[in-house]
Amino acid sequence: MDPNVVKAKLIEVLQSVQSLSGEACPAIDGGTKPAEALPKFTSKVWPVAAGMLGIAIGKPIPCETNIFVDEQTKTPLAINQTVALVLKILEAQDAEEAAKAGAE
């Protein structure tokens, strides 16, 4: 999947989430860290945003996967880092599906 498509969809989703929440949405670019930059964008909202992104790109993102904060360091991720993480998740899912298909 094209990283630019994922990035564009992610930004659209974040803008939608902020709008639906009635919150302001500052300009978002590749270096923006949504967990820090977006008002009231908290851990309660992250799974919803991840689910919306999955719908937008046509590939599920596991709801237990936090795509906005690094699991080990607990550091907020920038948009570009989130895109890289989403692509890694999708690659792993594709590999798993291919392995299952090969086993059948």
Closest CA to 56 of 93, 99, 100, 15: 15
Please, is 58 exposed, middle or buried when counting C-beta atoms within 10 Å of its C-beta (0-12, 13-18, 19+)?
exposed
Please write the tens of the pLDDT for every residue from 9-29: 999 999 999 999 999 999 999
**Which structure tokens are listed for 99?**
């392995």
Confidence of residue 98 (pLDDT cuts 50, 70, 90): confident
Q: Output the pTM of the full model.
A: 0.92
In a domain, 102, yes or no: no
**Which structure tokens are listed for 46?**
């992250």
Is residue 104 scored above 80 in pLDDT? Answer: no
Task: Quickly tell me which residue has 């899912």 as its tokens.
Answer: 93
| pLDDT at residue number 3 | 96
In a domain, 70, yes or no: yes
Rounded distance between C-alpha atoms, residue 82 and residue 101, angstroms: 28
Please write the tens of the pLDDT for every residue from 43-83: 999 999 999 999 999 999 987 889 999 999 999 999 999 99
Closest CA to 68 of 93, 91, 51, 92: 51
Closest CA to 53 of 68, 42, 39, 38: 68
In a domain, 68, yes or no: yes
Confidence of residue 96 (pLDDT cuts 50, 70, 90): confident
In a domain, 104, yes or no: no
Q: Which structural domain range is residue 81 located in?
A: 3-97
**Tally of structural domains, the chain:** 1
Is residue 97 scored above 90 in pLDDT? Answer: no
